[in-house]
């Protein structure tokens, strides 16, 4: 089957490469000239494990190609996946102007042959209806808009796409469902996952509701961590105890400085805006956001409680990306932590295994960068852990103590067992777990 993918960011490029991998012929197109050029040269412009290999091999076997213009994509592809950005407006509402512009452009390219236009970008409920209305005002060509939300996670995007938990398709015509079944058939075959068919609005809501629920779960456990901090209870054990209940599950109950990335912050804000508009009440999601915003502040408070004044102190910041396995810095809690450190006139020395090139472009020139985690720790007055990179958890606590000027580690991701830090003679303050003190 011939598939088109418009918008080649994380969702679009991974989808394009995976559809090609399972045997479809895929044509990708992106309006950003630099991104389009990178892909025409066969280069994946961001870090995602396994993606470069998949793109290279599928270009070579002729199942994946890229175009600069929309028209050849619409001329050839029966199903066109729309994966353009839906960023937040200052109000939190989703900015759908790229979707609207593309709908208009697609209408101009339809030439009488039936096409399925697949909304894959995360969008508020009703966007499919708006798209259909916009396009049908401009063309008589037959088309359907379907919603096919994406559930991939950065860092495991290829695996999540080839072996998804579920595929959700929202549509309103048998013709569209038939093409969508054909598109996903090889993935359903190899993974055995379920394909759920709904109306368009329900599919749109499944996506927003899923991300809002996961973010709520994280803020819920972070709120419990705040209570643990005040009582001496241990949030990890609370999460273990709760998680044994299959109705709750242990997943997404890791306490820390909070969620970041290109999805949860944006989607919770957009869904809060939808909830406010449609029901007059967004208190639940506003509480989720407020708890999340407190995470970096709680981390800095711990540091201040140990070091008294941060002014003039050298602080090692371990981790910059919003989570391990990606160089994505979007809405990373590292920014809030570093801003607060710089505002307090501390000297920041940061290290991240993959995100430093991108971070150098975005962070203040006052931030220093180390060549390794141990290099960042050398002679620092304290270390703060912002991202749970496995290589940080593998550091030897004794070596950490020997490298630091003062034996203080503030862990925003609870990556070390407190007993090991205690044995090494470190003061170790984590999130929602009893503190360990060396003095």
What residues act catalytically?
A: 263
Q: Please, what is the minimum distance in Å from the beta carbon of residue 336 to ligand UGA?
A: 12
Binding-site string for ligand UGA from residue 99 to residue 128, where x marks contact by CB under 6 A and - marks none: -----------------------x------
At closest approach, how far in Å is the CB of 211 from ligand UGA? 5
Q: How far apart are CA 51 and CA 400, in angstroms?
A: 34
Q: How many other CB atoms are there within 10 angstroms of residue 56's CB atom? A: 15
Site string for ligand UGA, 236-275 (x = CB under 6 A): ----------------xxx-x--xxx-xx-----------
389 binds ligand UGA, rule: CB under 6 A: no
Edge-to-edge strand list for the sheet holding 2-6? 64-67, 25-29, 2-6, 79-82, 115-119, 143-147, 166-170, 194-198
Q: Which of 382, 390, 432 is nearest to 407 (CA)?
A: 382
Query: Could you give the string, one character per residue 330-369, with x where binding to ligand UGA holds by CB under 6 A and - elsewhere?
Result: ----------------------------------------
- Does 218 bind ligand UGA (CB under 6 A)? Our answer is yes
The secondary structure element, H or E, covering residue 77 is none
Nearer to ligand UGA, 59 or 214 (CB): 214
Residues 175-204 that bind ligand UGA (CB under 6 A): none
The DSSP result for 322-341, as a single string, is SSTT----TT-HHHHHHHHH
What whole-number distance in Å separates Cα of residue 423 and Cα of residue 194? 48
Paired with 213 in beta bridges are none
**By CB under 6 A, what part of segment 297-316 binds ligand UGA?**
none
Candidates 47, 143, 322, 428; binder of ligand UGA (CB under 6 A) is 322
Which of 149-157, 180-188, 370-378, 402-410 is the region at the interface with ligand UGA (rule: CB under 6 A)? Answer: 149-157
Task: Please give the sequence-ordered ranges of beta strands (E in DSSP) within 214-292, or none if there are none.
Answer: none
* Neighbour-count burial of 75, counting CB atoms closer than 10 A to its CB (0-12 exposed, 13-18 middle, 19+ buried): middle
Interface stretch with ligand UGA, choices 152-160, 276-284, 299-307, 340-348 (CB under 6 A): 152-160
Token pair 């579920």 in the structure block, residue: 166
Note the residues at the interface with ligand UGA (CB under 6 A). Answer: 122, 150-154, 211, 214, 218, 252-254, 256, 259-261, 263-264, 322-323
């Amino acid at each position: 089957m011939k598939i088109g993918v418009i918008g080649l960011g994380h969702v679009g490029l991974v989808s394009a490469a995976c559809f090609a991998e399972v045997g479809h012929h895929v044509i990708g197109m992106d309006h950003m000239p630099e991104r389009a050029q990178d892909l025409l040269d066969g280069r994946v412009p961001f870090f995602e494990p396994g993606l470069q290999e998949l793109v290279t091999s599928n270009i070579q076997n002729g199942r994946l190609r890229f175009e600069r213009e929309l028209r050849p994509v619409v001329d050839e592809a029966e199903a066109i996946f729309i994966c353009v950005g839906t960023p937040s407006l200052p109000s939190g509402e989703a900015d759908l102007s790229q979707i609207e512009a593309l709908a208009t452009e697609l209408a101009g390219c339809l030439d009488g042959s039936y096409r399925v236009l697949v909304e894959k970008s995360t969008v508020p409920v009703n966007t499919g209806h708006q798209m259909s209305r916009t396009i049908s005002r401009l063309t008589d060509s037959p088309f359907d808009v379907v919603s096919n939300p994406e559930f991939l996670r950065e860092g495991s995007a290829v695996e999540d796409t080839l072996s998804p938990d579920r595929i959700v398709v929202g549509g309103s015509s048998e013709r569209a469902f038939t093409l969508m079944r054909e598109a996903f058939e090889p993935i359903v075959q190899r993974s055995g996952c379920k394909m759920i068919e709904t109306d368009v609005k329900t599919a749109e809501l499944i996506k927003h509701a899923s991300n809002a629920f996961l973010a709520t779960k994280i803020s819920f456990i972070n709120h419990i961590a705040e209570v643990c901090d005040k009582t001496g209870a241990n949030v990890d054990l609370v999460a273990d105890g709760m998680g044994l209940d299959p109705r709750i599950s242990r997943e997404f109950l890791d306490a820390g400085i909070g969620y970041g990335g290109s999805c949860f912050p944006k989607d919770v804000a957009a869904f809060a805006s939808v909830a406010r508009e449609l029901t007059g009440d967004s208190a639940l999601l506003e509480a989720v956001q407020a708890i999340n915003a407190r995470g970096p502040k709680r981390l800095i408070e711990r540091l201040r409680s140990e070091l008294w004044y941060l002014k003039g102190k050298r602080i090692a910041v371990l981790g910059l990306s919003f989570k391990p396995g990606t160089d994505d810095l979007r809405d990373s809690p590292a920014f809030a932590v570093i801003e607060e450190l710089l505002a307090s006139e501390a000297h920041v020395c940061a290290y991240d295994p993959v995100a430093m090139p991108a971070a150098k472009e975005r962070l203040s020139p006052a931030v220093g960068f180390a060549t390794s985690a141990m290099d960042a720790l050398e002679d620092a007055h304290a270390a703060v852990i912002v991202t749970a990179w496995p290589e940080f958890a593998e550091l030897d606590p004794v070596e950490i103590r020997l490298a630091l000027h003062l034996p203080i580690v503030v862990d925003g991701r609870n990556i070390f067992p407190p007993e090991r830090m205690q044995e090494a003679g470190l003061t170790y303050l984590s999130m929602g777990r009893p503190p360990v003190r060396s003095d």
